[in-house]
Amino acid sequence: MPEHIMAVEFPSEVTNKILAHYDVYARVLPWRSPPGSPPPDPYAIWLSEIMLQQTTVAAVKPYFEHFLKRWPDVTSLASAPDADVMAAWAGLGYYARARNLLACARAIVAEYGGGFPDDEEALKALPGVGPYTAAAITAIAFGHRATVVDGNVERVIARLHAVVTPMPQAKPELKRLAQCLTPDKRSGDFAQAMMDLGATICTPRNPNCQACPITGNCKGQAEAELYPVKPARKAKPHRSGTAWWIECNGEVLLVRRPEKGLLGGMRALPSCGWNGDPASHPVDGMFQSVGSITHVFTHFTLTLDIVMQSIGKNAATALDGEWWAIDRLDEAGLPSLFEKAAGAVKKWRLSHGP
């Protein structure tokens, strides 16, 4: 352990305080069993953890409940058509997770007969299951000792120990320090207790230190918002391109994006120029510019010019893609970027007439 990091005194005392607080104040979540109860279904834990990656609990809840109702176990999900799963995921973002979700479900059925392995290393070998998710399933679903470290846990640990190493270099240190607190028993409850602590009390801004069960042990409490120490901010690059709204007889042309890459496998409006592809017009003829939209991805910001064009039936049959009724477009499962583009067309029509 680096010299500048000193472990808190009485780690078992800290662990017990966190668990005692969780026993009283645990959040009620659709994928979670109450404190001290038998572990929940591994499928529910796996599904929720994949959805929760870089996504808020509030956003995940309705998607989780919809998926669980439509595909109640890993076998039913594994047999689902790719297009149905991608459409059900639309709006949740980070669409590679949905592709990995299907790949993982099919691997579990093919390799384990539909039962999740309870070994952390075996779980990490599955598609889309990294160290955090493997540890979460191991601890929460199977009750085995595993140290679960997400962004909330990193923040709690960084403040508890006043870790001065900036992120992301601090991650290994934070993991080691979290391991010192992880108990042999109730490690699943402890993992969820730490997540709750970071999500509801030890928040990024204005942490409620007075309500924290370990406030007396926290080395960074006086300057809590300094931790974890942030890296120097880099400006996001900006890209631009064009999206095409091509309609015929009350229907709009949708295409499937390539399986690999951003928004892979999703239905979308035809677009060009922003993903490294050359700018091109799908159809010759007159077109109308209806404005532009801006969308922020993880690694870049995108501005798309929206171009609208109406064509006849003969021209429509020559285009690759699927024609979707405009008044049912909300059923197409468009990702947020192209929902914005469709919204721009609707807004333009309201102000300019049909």
pLDDT tens for residues 314-353?
777 778 888 999 999 988 889 899 999 999 999 998 887 6
Which H or E run contains 112? helix 96-112
State residue 5's pLDDT score.
43
304 to each of 22, 90, 268, how far by Cα in Å? 46, 19, 13
d(CA 267, CA 257): 6
State residue 109's pLDDT score.
97
pLDDT digits (tens, 9 = 90+) for 287-311: 889 999 999 988 899 999 999 998 8
**Rounded (5°) CA angle 223-228-233:** 110
The least confident of 47-56, 116-125, 275-284 is 275-284
d(CA 345, CA 75): 40
3-class DSSP state for residue 294?
A: strand
Which H or E run contains 236? none
- pLDDT tier at 8 (50, 70, 90 boundaries)? low
d(CA 287, CA 292): 15
pTM metric for this prediction: 0.72
Q: Position 135: which residue type? A: A
Taking residues 141-163, what's their average pLDDT?
95
Mean pLDDT of the chain: 90
- Catalytic residue numbers read 49
pLDDT digits (tens, 9 = 90+) for 48-85: 999 998 889 999 999 999 999 999 999 999 999 998 99
State residue 295's pLDDT score.
93
State residue 263's pLDDT score.
86
d(CA 147, CA 176): 9
pLDDT digits (tens, 9 = 90+) for 129-138: 999 999 999 9
Tokens found for residue 209: 């230190």
d(CA 313, CA 176): 64
d(CA 224, CA 214): 13
- pLDDT tier at 3 (50, 70, 90 boundaries)? very low
Q: Does the pLDDT of residue 108 top 90, yes or no?
A: yes
